[in-house]
Chains A and B, each alone.
Chain A
């Protein structure tokens, strides 16, 4: 079914390129050839690798920090009151502002790029985890207290499984957000990565190159979502009598 849908996409693309002319939308073989050239020099893999590393780093950073802050805000009313205005500001700050400011303040460095991407994702993780923490079942908390569960055991077996759907949701939406932002950050201030190459292709008006990078990147996103994210989510909801 998925293969069919991909094939349909390629066919539509080919027809569109015939209609628009290959200068505006090159047909699949041209793009494939550009991909091949880039792959042969190794640039394709290098740039994809660099971008993926940035995605991984900022994702891990934002998820750990965001989950911890969200849990804390969900548990403590005072923390929630203090943190809420910050959260609203961060949530509504455009990604571009964060990236540009980060580059101005910290220079065109790797740290600035990763921090900027992480900061963009952070507030949604905080909000999701805070909601999850508020929804924790007080009955199970009481059970753990009566049966004298040590803290670690209570967190791992009582709290964490209840938060897992929220963590999965935060990871899912966060990953989607990071896929989008990482290219902007690279476009604006990094000397490598898919975003940088797309920037170069844009300046040279090299549409096959542009599409070659975009599609390789999309393919990798697709692969990670199907191979890693979806099985992970299925594994989490294994105990549900009938997972939706």
Chain B
């Protein structure tokens, strides 16, 4: 799926009726199978942008083009699982067409097999995130959206989940948009990085990474990160 975004303006009215500009002049394109990463300071409007791109918010000026019936798989910042359904039912409800082999394979990759029949309330945040990721992938999305999938996990857990996501992105090759405020995650996961400013968020830089994900050495990653940090300061 190809995604073209050209948002000229997005405003919110606060409780007092005052209007705040959240997004301004954000334009980019994702080619089919590319992983785009949106990087920006906390609270700059990244989640608002995702809500527009996933069709949850239509109140903006500009244009977003994606196939009308594209299947979207999304991992929200909070896992947003149904607490009254088991892990497996949560996934099956979003993806009724999934067959048992594929579901099992997904559980194995994300190390969820033993949690199939647990309820979300019994899971840690890290596990719940993985269930949310499994749900997003189970629908075989044309467009995968990940909103801060690694936030508020400890270092080791975040690294593990990041590796799992990398593996999955490699094997799935679906158009993906990932939001993070962590430069390191951005550089490790993305094909194309989009740096946003603080509010109102505008596009500061769009930076393609030519090296394939699997070929990036620690030195490459450090180099790109330094480049990004330099751009960010400039």
Complex Cα spacing A157 to B74, Å: 18
**CB-CB nearest in chain A for B136:** A147
Q: Encode contact with A along B72-85: 1 for CB under 8 Å, 0 otherwise.
A: 11101010101111
Number of interface residues of B (CB under 8 A): 23
Shortest distance in angstroms between B148's beta carbon and chain A's nearest beta carbon? 14
**CB-CB nearest in chain B for A162:** B84
Q: A147-B72, A147-B74 are in contact. Are A140 and B139 (CB under 8 A)?
A: no
**A42 contacts partner chain B, Cβ-Cβ < 8 Å:** no
**A219 contacts partner chain B, Cβ-Cβ < 8 Å:** no
**A146 contacts partner chain B, Cβ-Cβ < 8 Å:** yes
Interface residue ranges of B139-173 to A (CB < 8 Å): 139, 145
**CB-CB nearest in chain B for A147:** B94
Complex Cα spacing A140 to B90, Å: 12
Contact between chains at B121 and A153 (CB < 8 Å): no
Contact between chains at B54 and A146 (CB < 8 Å): yes
Q: A146-B56, A148-B72 are in contact. Are A158 and B122 (CB under 8 A)?
A: no
Which chain A residues lie closer than 8 Å to B222 at the CB level?
none
Contact between chains at A147 and B139 (CB < 8 Å): yes
Q: A146-B74, A147-B74, A147-B94 are in contact. Are A157 and B119 (CB under 8 A)?
A: no
**Residue of A139, A146, A157, A239 touching B93 (CB-CB under 8 A):** A157
Which chain B residues lie closer than 8 Å to A239 at the CB level?
83-85, 119, 121
**A240 contacts partner chain B, Cβ-Cβ < 8 Å:** yes
Complex Cα spacing A148 to B143, Å: 13
Q: A145-B56, A158-B82 are in contact. Are A241 and B72 (CB under 8 A)?
A: no
Which chain A residues lie closer than 8 Å to B72 at the CB level?
146-148
Complex Cα spacing A158 to B93, Å: 10
Which chain B residues lie closer than 8 Å to A140 at the CB level?
80, 82
**B225 contacts partner chain A, Cβ-Cβ < 8 Å:** no
Shortest distance in angstroms between A45's beta carbon and chain B's nearest beta carbon? 40
Which chain A residues lie closer than 8 Å to B56 at the CB level?
142, 145-146
**B213 contacts partner chain A, Cβ-Cβ < 8 Å:** no
Q: Encode contact with A along B85-126: 1 for CB under 8 Å, 0 otherwise.
A: 100000001100000000000000000000000010110000
List 18 extra interface pairs beyond A143-B74, A148-B72, A241-B119, CB under 8 A.
A140-B80, A142-B56, A145-B55, A145-B56, A146-B72, A147-B72, A147-B73, A147-B94, A147-B135, A149-B93, A149-B94, A153-B93, A157-B82, A157-B93, A239-B85, A239-B119, A240-B83, A240-B121
**B199 contacts partner chain A, Cβ-Cβ < 8 Å:** no
**CB-CB nearest in chain A for B119:** A239
Q: Which 5 pairs between the two chains have the least Cβ-Cβ distance? A: A161-B84, A239-B84, A241-B121, A147-B94, A143-B80
Complex Cα spacing A140 to B84, Å: 12
**CB-CB nearest in chain B for A161:** B84
Shortest distance in angstroms between B71's beta carbon and chain A's nearest beta carbon? 7
**CB-CB nearest in chain A for B139:** A147
List 20 A-B pairs, Cβ < 8 Å. A139-B76, A139-B80, A140-B80, A140-B82, A142-B51, A145-B55, A146-B54, A146-B55, A146-B72, A147-B135, A148-B71, A148-B72, A149-B94, A157-B85, A157-B93, A161-B84, A239-B83, A239-B121, A240-B83, A241-B122
Complex Cα spacing A239 to B122, Å: 9
Interface residue ranges of A114-172 to B (CB < 8 Å): 139-140, 142-143, 145-149, 153, 157-158, 161
Complex Cα spacing A140 to B51, Å: 14
Interface residue ranges of B58-80 to A (CB < 8 Å): 71-74, 76, 78, 80
Which chain B residues lie closer than 8 Å to A153 at the CB level?
93
Shortest distance in angstroms between A168's beta carbon and chain B's nearest beta carbon? 13
Contact between chains at A139 and B78 (CB < 8 Å): yes
Q: Encode contact with B along A206-244: 1 for CB under 8 Å, 0 otherwise.
A: 000000000000000000000000000000000111000
Complex Cα spacing A143 to B85, Å: 14
Complex Cα spacing A240 to B94, Å: 21
Complex Cα spacing A13 to B72, Å: 68
Which chain A residues lie closer than 8 Å to B78 at the CB level?
139
